[in-house]
Structure 1
Amino acid sequence: MANHKSAEKRDRQSKVRRLRNRMNRSAMKSAVRQIEMALAAGSEDEAKSALQRAIPIIDKTASKGTIHKRTAARKISRLTRRVNKMQPLG
């Protein structure tokens, strides 16, 4: 346990931020999982709509500092490529 007033405050802040980051990361993982399930089921329309719901969630997670902005961009790019590969050409 912290002994100084400033260290106690830092401990409180760390706990709040950890919970907030966990909540944001969990929401992001759930959104990605929805895409994964749609891809596994072979449902193109469901995968597209899940991707459209997931992109803002991933961006928000990055803007809050939970994940790095380039990590978010990489996740979005890879998911988009996977969903687009489902589409028949033409």
Structure 2
Amino acid sequence: MANTPQSKKRARQLERRTAVNKARRSRIRTYLRKAEEAIASGDKVAAQAALQACQPELMRGVSKGVFHKNTASRKISRLAARVKALG
């Protein structure tokens, strides 16, 4: 357990930061799930729209330090390839 005032403050800050990051990660996963569902439905227009909404959210997660840049780029790339493959 934290003993010094500094370590107690750091523990409080970490708690707040964790909650913020958890909310961001959840929001991004929601956008990813919507894109996945649109691809699964086979509707190319809806899938493209979902992908367009998903990309900035993923990159915002990168800029906020929730995801690594390569992870987000890989996810976007794979989603885009799957949208492109739709008839």
**TM-score where L is the length of structure 1:** 0.92
> Where does structure 2 lack aligned partners over 5 or more consecutive residues?
none
Residues in 1 aligned to 2:71 and 2:56: alpha-carbon distance in whole angstroms? 14
SS of corresponding position for 2:65: coil
Calculate percent identity across the aligned residue pairs.
41
Which stretches in structure 1 are left out of the alignment for 5+ residues? none
Q: How many residues align?
A: 87
Matches within 5 A, 1:22-37: 22-37=22-37
Indicate the structure whose relative CO is greater, using CA pairs within 8 Å and at least 6 residues apart.
2
SS for the counterpart of 1:67 is coil
Residue 39 of structure 1: how far off its partner (Å): 1.1
The Cα RMSD (Å) is: 0.9
Matched, 1:67 2:30: no
Q: TM-score, normalised by structure 2?
A: 0.95
- Which residue identity does 1:36 align to in structure 2? E
